[in-house]
Structure 1
């Protein structure tokens, strides 16, 4: 019986790894190539924002002039987009208590994305995005910890019966 559980866990981990790699490919496509956000052409020069909270403040200040989609996408899109990364990274690296690794990996992945935008001259290299992506990864990791805690509690109660 325990052997089946271990095998199921291994199979689930493999499935999460596949989903994780597909997710990374999807993020790169969305950020660098998606025509929906004007990525089909690119700029003549690179665009950079190194002032923390500049874009967040700009979108918040002018939210009444912008579409709801633009405001939500720019203020919350990065957080939502990177939450799955923070959730899946402890599974992929096979560490239950991997807080710092999850935050570092999310920050590093975000930096790779932003640097790719800079090099390819699509989008903007934005420190606000680095911050919001990392916050998203942190939220994803916290959700992961809650799920693990609930799962462990469920298994302990089931084993006690």
Structure 2
């Protein structure tokens, strides 16, 4: 079941990151777009919240976190060795780096170091959710 969820999640993520018309992913930029300065885009979204609007600013900040929560939740279900926090954080960072690199090379979106941080945070939050759910499941089994 975990592998099926993981493949469906990856397919959905690839669609939204590279092909979603609603996110402007069908347009290819003329040049490479990137941000290598940590917190630049995060500060911009917070500082210009009123101008960008809650949907655009929230989508950038919360959307990047939310996009990786399933990754951090499902990854520990696939293998016991994935049940350590640092494994989930490392894989979240590496997977995010792959996505950002493909966005840079294909010029669909931009490479943003802030996205790496937000995506990795999302993976870690997904891992914490996995731990919470696993703990609840264990308590329920002990009660039975």
Match of 1:47 among 14, 33, 42: 33
TM-score by length of 2: 0.95
Counting only pairs closer than 5 Å after superposition, residues 8-157 of structure 1 correspond to structure 2 as 15-95=1-81, 97-157=83-143
Query: Which of 1 and 2 has greater Rg?
Result: 1
TM-score by length of 1: 0.86
Query: What do you get for the CA RMSD once the two structures are aligned?
Result: 1.1
- 1:125–1:81: structure 2 CA closer, same or farther, 3 Å change rule? same
Unpaired runs of at least 5, structure 2: none
C-alpha displacement of 1:138? 0.2
- CA distance in structure 1 between the aligned counterparts of 2:63 and 2:72, rounded to whole angstroms: 15
- 1:77–1:157: structure 2 CA closer, same or farther, 3 Å change rule? same
3-state SS of paired residue (1:37): coil
- CA distance in structure 1 between the aligned counterparts of 2:82 and 2:12, rounded to whole angstroms: 25
For the 8 Å contact 2:75–2:82, the answer to whether it is kept is no
Unpaired runs of at least 5, structure 1: 1-14
- CA distance in structure 2 between the aligned counterparts of 1:150 and 1:24, rounded to whole angstroms: 27
Figure out how many residues of one structure are paired with residues of the other and give that number: 144
For the 8 Å contact 1:49–1:126, the answer to whether it is kept is yes
